[in-house]
Amino acid sequence: MSARATAVPIDVARLIVTTLNLEVAPEAIDPDESLFGEGLGLDSIDALELALAISREYGLELRSDDARNRQVFASLRSLTDYIDETRTR
C-alpha cells in the first residue's frame, strides 16, 4: 500500500485563489462556507476552471455530468474530503 499525503484545506484554498485570481486570502476562506452563491460567490465557469486545476494537481477526474458535483463543490471542506477520497497522487 502506498502512502499519500492528505489534502490540506489551506492548500486547496490556495489552489482556488490562485486558479481563479480571487482577491481573498486563502486563510480567510471558511472551510464550511459555500463556495457558490452567497458564500465565496463562485459561478459555473469558476467550477470548470477549478475542476481542471484540481484534476491537474491531484490526478483525479471531475466530470461535469457527475450527480455529486453539487455536494463535492458545496464547501472547501467537502471539496478537500472528495480530493482525499479519490485522488491518485
Q: What's the CATH code of the domain at 36?
A: 1.10.1200.10
Statement: residue 75 has pLDDT above 60: yes
Domain assignment of residue 35, yes or no: yes
Residue indicated by cell numbers 486563510: 27
Q: How many domains does the chain have?
A: 1
* Chain segment 19-67, per-residue pLDDT in tens: 999 999 999 999 999 999 888 999 989 999 999 999 999 988 888 788 8
* Helix, strand or coil, per DSSP, at residue 4: coil
Q: Which domain holds residue 59?
A: 9-86
Helix axes 44-58, 9-20, angle to 10 degrees: 120
Looking at residue 40, the DSSP 8-state letter turns out to be S
> pLDDT category, 87, cuts 50, 70, 90?
confident
Nearest to 50 by CA among 25, 28, 18: 18
